[in-house]
Amino acid sequence: MAASSPILASNMATPPPPPPPLPMMPSKGSVSAPPRNGAAPPPPPLPMMPSQGSVPTPTPPTKPLKNGAAPPPSAPLLGPRRPTARLKRSAQMGTLYRTLRKKMEGTNQEGPIQEGKSSQAKRGLTGNSNGEKQGMADTIAEMTKKSAYFQQIEKDVKQHAKSIMEVKAAITAFQTKDMTELLKFHKYVESHLEDLVDEGQVLARFEGFPTKKLETLRTAAALYLKLDAVVTHLKIWKVVAPLSQLLDRIEPYFNKIKREVEAFERTKDEEAKKFHSHSINFDFKIIVRIKESMVDISSSCMELALQERKEIEAVEKKETGGSKAERATKEGNTKLLWRTFQFAFRVYTFAGGQDDRAERLTRELAFQIESCLQHQ
């Protein structure tokens, strides 16, 4: 057979290899490693598919923080307030209360003390003003000129002008940190303004009258009088038997004073700034005196409870019968002792501490309660 021609031989040669795969485009923001010796980089591995029926673990959501700030710390636990100068924190009061509560109420929970239900209604006043037409304004102005009421205002302006100018200068220059002086000056101001038919209308006729300072002066005087009246009331409180009736009277009053004092303490800094801006340095030590007086009453209640307990023990020694009535009386007295201790603990928490007298009486009262429980 004749040899194949060169052209036929070239047509029967092996076909050329396929072109290389296109290089993978890098994702946005990624940096690919440079290929070695011109070789294309290997393709990325395929993602692993979850097995049938499996559920991928979700990534817990994280709260974004501004400027990389650390998360805020957890809120501190609320406890007794800071003790005052005479009162101090007790190392035993909390332990005694929890121990006795567990024995008396059969619970180990240390939840907050229930102080009764209280509700405060929040009321908002909304007004709607449509304005007045010029014709009505002119009519009111004409009526004002003929009104006996406004004529009396003009008369007061002329008649009391001298004394009002004296009061204006006195209020402007007034500054004090003595509450007795504050009350005395307040009385002086009121004596000059009480006869005006319409104080606001009259004082508005005197340019530059310190109306805001006058309002602040009255607010400070009224507040101090109110708080001082509480101290006086607590000082003269009669602690007399029977104990149960005494507690029925003092506990509601304590709840009322506690709410008012705590509400005042929440705004005390704001009130202090307002008073100070008008040169009045309010004596907030009056709050300390209220707390000390309440601790004194609590101690007197504990003394009365211990005295009544001694009287019951004296009767028990004479009568050894042990009737059902006697056992009921003993059980009722134990509950009354516990109620007195609870009241003392609430006063201690409110005041932020207690003095040496209250410290001693709480120990004695706790001992008596435990002794009664053992003999029941």
Distance CA 335, CA 367 (A): 14
* 113 vs 102: which has the higher pLDDT: 102
% of the chain beyond a pLDDT of 70 = 63
Per-residue model confidence (pLDDT) at position 93: 80
Taking residues 287-299, report their average pLDDT.
97
113 pLDDT higher than 50: no
Bridge partners for 88 per DSSP: 354
**CA distance readout (Å), 222 to 95, 182, 192:** 41, 10, 18
Which residues, 6 or more positions from 290, have their beta carbon under 8 angstroms from its beta carbon? 227, 230, 231, 234, 257, 261
| Distance, CA of 65 to CA of 56 (rounded, Å) | 27
Q: Which amino acid is at 280?
A: I
Angle 79-85-89 (CA atoms, 0-180°, nearest 5)?
Answer: 35
Confidence (pLDDT) at 178:
96
What is the rounded CA–CA span in Å between residue 200 and residue 264? 28
- The half-sphere exposure of 374 on its side-chain side, counting CA atoms within 13 A, is 6
- Give Cβ neighbours of residue 264 (< 8 Å, ≥ 6 apart): 271, 287
Report how many helices (DSSP H) and strands (DSSP E) the chain contains, helices first.
Answer: 13, 0
Of the candidates 239, 156, 242, the residue with the CA atom closest to the CA atom of residue 194 = 156
What digits encode the pLDDT tens for the residues 134-181?
666 666 666 666 678 888 999 999 999 999 999 999 999 999 999 999
d(CA 361, CA 307): 12
pLDDT at 355 (0 to 100): 95
- How far apart CA 373 and CA 376 sit, in angstroms, is 5
Q: Considering only 97-106, 196-205, 342-351, which range has the smallest mean pLDDT?
A: 97-106
Residues 241-275 pLDDT 10s: 999 999 999 999 999 999 999 999 999 999 999 99
Q: What is the pLDDT of residues 51-100, one digit of tens each?
A: 444 444 444 444 444 444 445 544 444 445 555 567 888 777 888 788 87
**pTM for the full predicted model:** 0.64
Q: Are 225 and 183 in contact (CB under 8 A)?
A: yes
Give the integer Cα–Cα distance in Å for 211 and 91.
51
DSSP assignment, residue 77?
Answer: P
As given in the structure block, the two tokens for residue 318 are 């004479």
Rounded mean pLDDT of 278-305? 96
Backbone angles phi, psi at 176, to 5 degrees: -160, 160
